[in-house]
Structure 1
Amino acid sequence: MSSADDTANEAGRRARAARRRQWSYGAYREGPDPLAPPFDIDAAIDRIGRDVMEGSSPRQAMRELLRQGMSGRSGLDELTRRLRERRRELQRDNRIDGTLQEVRELLDKALTAERQTLARQDSEDARFREMDLDTLPDNTGRAVRALQPYQWQSPEARAAYEEIQNLLGREMLDQRFAGMKEALQQATPQDAEDVRRMLDDLNKLLDAHAAAPDSPSVQAQFDQFMAEHGRFFPEQPESVDELVDLLAARSAAAQRMMQSLSPQQRAELAELSQQAFGDPRLAQSLAELDGRLQGLRPGEDWSGPGQGRQPRFRGDNPMGLGEATRAMEELGRIDELTDRLGQSYPGAELADIDPDELAAALGEDARVDLQALRDLERELQEQGVFERAPDGSLQLSPRALRRLGESALREVVDRIAGRRGERATRRSGAAGEPTGASRPWAFGDTEAWNVPRTLLNAQLRRAAGDDRPLDVADVEVVDTERRRQAAVALCVDTSWSMVQDGRWVPMKRTALALHHLISTRFRTDALQLVTFGRAASKVGLGELVELEGAWVQGTNLHHALLLAGEHLRRHPDAIPVVLVVTDGEPTAHLEPDGHPVFSYPPTELTLGLTIAELDRLTVRRAAVTFFVLGDDPGLAHLVDSLARRCGGRVVAPDLDGLGAEVVADYLRTRR
């Protein structure tokens, strides 16, 4: 091999090694986990459906799902809890009088050093100075102010006093301008003058903006201001409005921080503010700035909840004015985020929650949880779980109802299979016994394919010149015997006792399971849902699922059987089936004028009309089954009498077994 080949191979090896060194492995931190499992939409629909059946509106059920979260993701309630914990942590661990404490320590240091120096001087002037120091006010602010003209004898004391003035200047500026405390750590008189000039120019800019907010000259003035003083604004705002928003939020937080101090502490800080950088003009300029900002942004929270209700900081970690103001800003953001996470205001949406602010308060995992909730909400909307009712309200879509019915039926089948020792499976022949023939597939057919006939049709078509491997027109299904149609009336009690005793949701899930079974496996059967309280009415599945319990007395079985009879008469050739779910005696009947009448205990008229309607169903040879809930002996005796009269059956299931008993009875009657 030539030396050139050796050189090329060595270069290739080094290049591959360099590429390998560029690779690194670690935790994924760029957003949601790309390998996370997809949302379980069916589970979400089940939870929404459960809340709707318990009486919530679809919109409330959706909000409840977002509040609780799912699939290992925090919901809005958990994020709110973490925000409140962060709020308590801020107040529990910190206190906001750190600047006052630091000033007191520096003042004690200055006075101690000065007294030590004076004690070594043997002169009347030294004794007079000691007397001046002994008569200083107890108030720290007044003491610092009283010492302003004092001629210090100790260099150490003079340096400590000057540090008080510089500290106050830095802290007051740090309240309004981020990073100012560190930038002016070694402030010179020229630095202080630059700050005062910046404040003067800023106040002039705000005055011009207030007079003509949209004027091009104001924007030009802003550009000139940023060119000269931009180093004081690391956020680099791009317009006067952005600058005002930034400063107003901090200024309002500074005001709220002052309100959180005791009256004595506020008085001390007011005195000390006059000593910032040894010049009262800084305090005056900042006060003018606060006034202008409050006029430009009156909607900011400038005073907080009021005296006595301000947040109290009771920890051991002292914070300076700037740090305390930022803590108040964080508390304000936490309170706003808490309100938005609560979603309790009109028109609330997840889009109202700022993910950046949430991440700043709780960390990146909170941003991921919020995005997961947004994705879940969007997925449910795209899947068509809800639809608009004619009145504009939200209601569950047919797809959601089918999913709820499928879930309810699965529970029923599992219970029936467990009771009989069978597996839940689709048995052959469920759609009718095969006739030995086949027929072309039609939309809606669920019968098994006739595979040989389907493949033969495909080969014949290809022999004719069509190259497609398989077409829907090729498919043939196994023909089955036609089964006789059944007309089913499911009459469910909706009196208040059903709600009060926890039978509301089991009743609805029973209707869901039966409806889903008939609509998917016995599509030729005609099912009518009938609700009866003081009066009865025919309802659709969606109406029943979203039906809210109401405090209405009365169990109008008479009216329910009358509507069931109307349904059976519309299907004269079908097997008549009437299923009644109730927990109370008949206590209401329908007058000829259509007015329901309630009476407890039941009157002879109510019982007579109910029995007469039952007799009409008996004449039609309807298979009637009563499902009795509860342990009322009077109801049990009455229903037994009614069942014997019509040749029907009585079933007394527990709540968990209600659906299984109803479905099993329907299948038994059909057979």
Structure 2
Amino acid sequence: MIGYRFTDFIPNSPLGNIFQQLLNIFLQLLNITAGDVSEALNLLNELDRKYNLTTNDYGIGDFIEELKEKGYIEEGQQNEHVYYITTKTEREIRRKALEEIFSKLKRGGKGNHPTPFSGLGDEKTSDRRNYQFGDRLDQLDATASIKNAQINHGINNFELTEDDLEIEELEYKTAASTVLMIDVSHSMILYGEDRITPAKKVAMALAELITTKFPKDTLDIIAFGNDAWPIEIKDIPYLQVGPYHTNTVGGIELAMDLLRRKKNRNKQIFIITDGKPTCLKIGMKYYKNSFGLDRKIINKTLDKAAQCRKLGITITTFMIARDPYLQRFVHEFTKVNQGRAYYSSLTNLGEYIFEDFVRNRRKNFK
């Protein structure tokens, strides 16, 4: 065996560092511009002029060429000056969002939704019990079983019987089906505050978490304004706010329909919104009221919350608003569903959602 060979340490190329730094900024800008590459590059140019992000040896033009070479963007077939992001970029945006949000979370245990119940699983606990018919052999605690045999029968007359066997309890693991509803009504960009970008970032991070860490879980994502419609994970970066009202009832109805098709026992709805329900669709017409908590709309919304409760679907509302009258409505909505509500700012929205999703909760996983 030759062993290890040590050579001189050669630090990373400064140009490589510049590309990575620019890429991180570019991915953030893509989220803000709803996947518009040209607009993101224009903003990156402005940032470079203001903050000198590049050097004399490596400019934005070099960065664009490297983006194309490494498969982050591709040119349009009809127009060479029009760029589109690739599936590689979409995955990278989701991964970055996951890293950003998880870096803020407190340290916790392993994932896969641990519950307070023992049963079939893959994580051993400190609990022990006597052998029962049907227990798997890999659950057998050999050391404890031999010790029991010595105590019960003595060393000189050693024998191992069924009564001596001791079983290691395993932590029961469960799967969940989640629907994430994102409000895309006009108020999500009202008053000069960008609320849709953090919502999209959380949705992408949650999608990346479930697909990589909880493969047995399911995640559906719904955008809701005047209507509600499902979107694919790959479509999240392109999600934009429209001139819509907030049809929460339509969103919950679609979420219930999606969850009805899932086989998982544990089903939940996450709602990211900043406003009150202001719209209903009755037949082909829309009933709207932007001025207050319209009783007709509110009663329908509360009816859906109660219906979800009867079906065992927990609703967690993440409210990006501090208005007292809105909080009162959310409190009543949550009470009817027996779910949870968080009144979060844009900076800690991801922390609330991920801690709620990953945390072990007896009342959620029954």
Question: Same fold judged by TM-score > 0.5?
Answer: yes
Q: Please list, as runs of the form range in 1=range in 2, the aligned pairs for 1:437-516 lying within 5 A after superposition.
A: 483-500=173-190, 501-516=193-208
Q: Distance in 2 between matches of 1:45 and 1:549?
A: 25
- Residues of 2 paired with 1:398 and 1:47: CA distance? 18
Once the two structures are TM-superposed, the CA of residue 51 in structure 1 deviates from its matched residue by: 2.0
Could you say which residue in structure 1 is the equivalent of 2:30?
A: 52
Tell me which of 255, 260, 273 is aligned to 1:564: 255
Give the structure 1 partner of residue 43 of structure 2. Answer: 64
Shift of 1:625: 0.7
CA distance in 2, matches of 1:640, 1:403: 37
Are 1:415 and 2:104 matched, yes or no? yes
Q: 5+ residue gaps in structure 1?
A: 1-33, 76-364, 437-479
Specify the structure having the higher radius of gyration (Cα).
Answer: 1
Q: Name the one with the larger strand percent.
A: 2
Task: Confirm or deny that 1:657 pairs with 2:348.
Answer: yes
Take 2:296 and 2:101, find their aligned partners in 1: how far apart are those partners? 38
Taking only the aligned residue pairs, the percentage that are identical comes to: 21
**AA matched with 2:333:** L
1:382 equivalent in alignment to 2:69: yes
Mapping of residues 304-453 of structure 1, within 5 Å = 366=56, 368-369=57-58, 372-386=59-73, 394-417=83-106, 422=107, 434=122
Shift of 1:394: 4.7
TM-score by length of 2: 0.70
Q: Give the letter aligned to residue 24 of structure 2.
A: D
Q: State yes or no: 1:609 paired with 2:296.
A: no
1:545 aligns with 2:237: yes
Paired letter, 1:386: I
Is the contact between residue 495 and residue 554 of structure 1 (CA under 8 Å) also seen in structure 2? yes
Query: Is the 1:578–1:624 contact (alpha carbons within 8 Å) kept by the matching residues of 2?
Result: yes
In 1, distance between residues paired with 2:31 and 2:13?
A: 34
Aligned residue for 2:229, secondary structure, equals strand
C-alpha displacement at 1:635, in angstroms? 0.9
- Name the structure 2 match of 1:326: none
Cα displacement (A) at 1:484: 3.0
One-letter amino acid matched to 1:382:
E
1:276-303 C-alpha deviation (Å, 9 max, x unpaired): xxxxxxxxxxxxxxxxxxxxxxxxxxxx
CA distance in 2, matches of 1:590, 1:507: 24
Q: Give the Å deviation of 1:609.
A: 2.3
How far apart are the structure 1 equivalents of 2:356 and 2:270? Answer: 9
1:54 Cα shift?
2.2
Structure 1 residues 596 and 522: CA distance shift in structure 2, 3 A: farther
SS at 1:416 equivalent? coil
Q: Which has the higher helix share?
A: 1
Q: Distance in 2 between matches of 1:536 and 1:555?
A: 9
CA 1:481/1:596 → structure 2, altered by over 3 Å: closer, same or farther?
farther
Q: Distance in 2 between matches of 1:607 and 1:572?
A: 31
- Equivalent residue for 1:532, pick from 218, 221, 224: 224
Contact in 2 for aligned 1:489/1:530 (Cα 8 Å): yes
Contact 1:42 1:403 in 2 (8 A): no
Which residue of structure 2 lines up, in the alignment, with residue 636 of structure 1? Answer: 327
Backbone CA RMSD of aligned residues: 3.2
Task: After superposition, give the CA deviation of every residue in 1:488-512 in whole Å (9 maximum; x if it has no partner).
Answer: 1111111222112332221111112
Separation (CA, whole Å) in 1 of partners of 2:98 and 2:352: 12
How big is the shift at 1:431?
8.4
- Once the two structures are superposed, residues 202-229 of structure 1 have per-residue CA deviations (whole angstroms, 9 ceiling, x without a partner) of xxxxxxxxxxxxxxxxxxxxxxxxxxxx
In structure 2, do the counterparts of structure 1 residues 63 and 484 end up closer, same or farther at CA, with 3 Å as the change threshold? same
In structure 2, the CA distance between the partners of 1:597 and 1:541, relative to structure 1 (3 Å rule), is: farther
Q: Please report the TM-score for the alignment, with normalisation by the length of structure 1.
A: 0.40
1:409, distance to aligned residue in structure 2 (A):
2.0
**Per-residue CA shift, 1:489-545, capped at 9, x if unaligned?**
111111222112332221111112211111110122111111122222211234332
Between the aligned partners of 1:549 and 1:391, the Cα distance in structure 2 is 28
Shift of 1:563: 1.2
Q: Is the 8 A contact 2:184 2:240 kept in 1?
A: no
Which has the bigger relative contact order, CA under 8 A and spacing at least 6?
Answer: 2
Would the aligned equivalents of 1:492 and 1:531 in 2 still touch at CA under 8 Å? yes
Kindly state the Cα deviation for residue 429 of structure 1 after the two structures are TM-superposed: 6.5
Q: What residue identity is the alignment partner of 2:37?
A: P
